Amino acid sequence: MFRRIRPIIIKELRQIRRDTRSLGLLLVFPAFLVFLIGYALNFDVKHVKLAILDQDRSPRSREYIRAFSTSEYFDIGYNVGSYADLTTLLNEGKAQMAVVTPVKFAADLLAGRDVDVQFLVDGSDANTATMAIGYAASITQTYSASIATAALARSGRESYVPVDFRPKIWYNPELVSAKFLLPGLFGFILMLSAVISTSLSVVREKEHGTMEQLMISRLHTAEIIIGKTIPYLAVSLLSSVLILATGYIFFQISVRGSLVWFYAGTTIFLLGALGQGLFISTIAPNQQMAFLISVLTSLLPTFLLSGFVFPISSMPVVLQILSNITPTKFYLIVVRGIILKGVGLAAFWDQLLYMAIFAGITLTLSSVRLLRRAE
């Protein structure tokens, strides 16, 4: 069979080589994008711009505010005199959060009364806001505990915390979001390059009239599909090597688990992605439609439904089911498992199976469509 497919592979390879710009884009640009975007992928909320309205202006309130300025999570940008100023700063987006201390902050604490500190938060970016509130609350708790200890000491009692809470973080102890996001970026970029590399391949031949030549060559449509897949699989695999190298050199992402399984998983995944592109190519009436369909089915769905950025378990059930249409979802579980956790086949064999099913379906459908079209 290979001897029959070989001419198609050679023809496709020649065609790929002739269009140097497209080849360069497919081969090198994914790695460049990993390099560029890798630095931008960041959920770590730090340096939140903070505005302060200190109505007490006592040494004690200043001490409390200093706790914010020494934290890396906050940058105190403004120290204002009135609520109106805070409103303007928040409206213009110059500050994301404001801390307001009450007038009798020090006096009340000294008298043993509770005080209320106010946080005003720009909630438009809910994620950043939630994190910032968490950090500010924990700074306040620490301060509150030190005040309580001091008050208790004055009355000759020992401070006492009933629960000794010890949180521990696994896999990614410093909570660096890049570690989680970069393997996702690998999958995202591979998926998109693979789909666009094949999505024009069949429809282009049709527009140029070269499809008829292929059809009279007595090759089975399945053979044509395989012949068209293999060269692009090679290009995408090479590109994935470059991507992994970029991740290692610039972001210190090393593969904890087995490299063999990493590439086995990548190959199965790419077959599915290329299959999706080929299928689009067999159903689209022209190249413009093929482009439109491939962008609409791959770009945002992969970004939003694969669990790359947004946790699938937080989505409505219907979308959780629907997320299975993007093979990247399964691939991300595999690469995150291998790269971050170093787990073995036992933890992800089912994902490999799903990806293989996806590849089987898309490639078979393409060949069936091609057959129908030929007749």
Partner 1 sequence: MKTILHIILKEFWQIRRDKRMLGVTLLAPVFQLLLLGYAATTDVRSIPMAVCDEDRSATSRELLRQFTNSGYFVHAYDVMTPRDIDHYLDDGDAWVGLVIPPEFGTNVLARRPAPLQLISDGTNSSTAGISLGYAGQVVSTFSRSIVLTQIERRPQLTAPPSVNTEVRVWYNPELKSRNYMVPGVVAMILLIITMTLTSIAIVREKESGTLEQLLVTPIKPFQLIIGKLMPFVLIGIADVTLVLTVARFWFDVPLRGSVILLYMMSGVFVLTTLGLGLFISTISKTQQQAMMTAQFFIFMPSIFLSGFTFPIQNMPQSIQYVTYVIPLRYFMEIIRGIFLKGDGIAELWPQGLALLTFGIIILTLSILRFHKRLA
Q: In this structure, which long-range contacts are made by residues 322-330, counting pairs with CB atoms below 8 Å and at least 24 apart in sequence?
A: 324/354, 325/301, 326/191, 326/301, 326/302, 327/191, 327/269, 327/272, 327/273, 327/276, 327/354, 327/355, 327/358, 327/359, 328/187, 328/188, 328/191, 328/269, 328/302, 329/305, 330/269, 330/354, 330/355, 330/358
> Could you tell me the smallest distance in angstroms from the CB atom of residue 226 to partner 1?
21
Q: Which run of H or E residues covers position 74?
A: strand 74-80
Q: Which of 108, 220, 255, 368 binds partner 1 (CB under 8 A)?
A: 108
Q: Which is nearer to partner 1, 176 or 368 (CB)?
A: 176
Residues 242-271 that bind partner 1 (CB under 8 A): none
Query: Could you say whether residue 9 binds partner 1 (CB under 8 A)?
Result: no
Contact 92, 139 (CB under 8 A): no
Residues 342-361 that bind partner 1 (CB under 8 A): 343, 347
Q: Interface with partner 1 by CB under 8 A: which range of 112-120, 225-233, 352-360, 363-371? A: 112-120
Q: Which two tokens stand for residue 274?
A: 């290329």
Q: Which of 171, 212, 213, 249 binds partner 1 (CB under 8 A)?
A: 171
Residues 209-248 that bind partner 1 (CB under 8 A): none
Q: Which of 74, 80, 95, 179 binds partner 1 (CB under 8 A)?
A: 179
Tally of CA atoms within 13 A in the half-sphere of 261 that contains its CB = 22
Site string for partner 1, 115-154 (x = CB under 8 A): xxxxxxxxxxxxxxxxx-xx-xxx-xx-xx--xxx-xx--
Q: Which of 31, 53, 80, 189 binds partner 1 (CB under 8 A)?
A: 189
Residue 145 phi, psi (nearest 5): -65, -40
Q: Which of 238, 245, 259, 289 binds partner 1 (CB under 8 A)?
A: 289
> Could you tell me the smallest distance in angstroms from the CB atom of residue 274 to partner 1?
15
Q: Which is nearer to partner 1, 219 or 283 (CB)?
A: 283
Task: DSSP for 29-69, please give it.
Answer: HHHHHHHHHHTT-------EEEEEEESS--HHHHHHHHHHH
Q: Interface with partner 1 by CB under 8 A: which range of 168-176, 238-246, 248-256, 263-271? A: 168-176
Question: In angstroms, rounded to a whole number, what is the distance separating the alpha carbons of residues 189 and 25?
Answer: 12
Q: Which of 1, 84, 163, 260 binds partner 1 (CB under 8 A)?
A: 163
Q: Which two tokens stand for residue 226?
A: 């395989």
Contact 109, 60 (CB under 8 A): yes
Q: Which of 91, 210, 217, 252 binds partner 1 (CB under 8 A)?
A: 91
> Could you tell me the smallest distance in angstroms from the CB atom of residue 213 to partner 1?
19
Residues 20-79 that bind partner 1 (CB under 8 A): 21-22, 25-26, 29, 33, 36-37, 39-47, 49, 64
Query: Could you say whether residue 93 binds partner 1 (CB under 8 A)?
Result: yes
Query: Could you say whether residue 192 binds partner 1 (CB under 8 A)?
Result: yes
Nearest Cα neighbor of 257 from 351, 352, 346, 357 is: 346
> Residue 305: which region, alpha, beta or left (left: phi > 0; alpha: psi -120 to 50)?
alpha
Q: Which is nearer to partner 1, 49 or 228 (CB)?
A: 49
